[in-house]
Amino acid sequence: MSLSAVELWNQNAFLAINAGAQAPAYVVAIARMLTSWAIYLAMILLVFAWVRRGRAVRFALLDATCAALIGLVAAQGIAALWYHPRPFEIGLGRQLLDHAAESSFPSDHATLMFSLAVSLLLNAASRRWGGVLLLLGFAVAWSRIYLGVHFPLDMFGAFGVAAFVSFLIKLVGSHLHRLYYPRLISIYETGLHRLRLPDYIFPRAS
């Protein structure tokens, strides 16, 4: 398939998802809420998992954090090397969310969500949390296309980056788990002890 054919598919798929002139106000409101608040919800869930779950889940959360940070750096690098205009820059569809005119590929929001989700899915101890974040990631991806600030391929690109960095972290995970993560958890639990926070609210790693 030629590059022009891929771009034509990308634009047609965008138009099929993007909010039309008759888009219900409540659907637009849901999309705005998802694009603004889903990431914060994800952070709350992960903090809860860190506080309430044991050592295996905490290791998985640290893997996911590494994947998300590397994924965002990779996404920024791709955007810097190859500029792809956003739909509103070429007068395509309807823009219902304010956004700067900057490279759209890949989506930073989706890269963050998918990196967290895929990395957690790769760890048996955190698979349930990864499934929740994956659903949130798809919701964020839909909302940003629906509101007119991203193309579908921006989301495929984000998922590709997320999958790559998540598998990369998985490959080196044993070294991270042995050399660095126990120290980070020890620092955290030392802080809990010094603050005299109760075990039944902030359980120590098991």
Mean pLDDT computed over 45-62: 94
Q: pLDDT at residue 154 above 90?
A: yes
The answer to whether 10 and 88 have CB atoms below 8 angstroms apart is no
Q: Is the pLDDT of residue 206 over 60?
A: no
pLDDT digits (tens, 9 = 90+) for 54-87: 899 999 999 999 999 999 999 999 999 999 999 9
The alpha carbon dihedral of 112, 159, 105, 33 has a sign of: negative
pLDDT at 123 over 90: yes
**Total-model pTM:** 0.93
- 50-54: Cβ within 8 A, 24+ apart: 51/201, 51/202, 51/203, 52/203, 53/125, 54/203, 54/205, 54/206
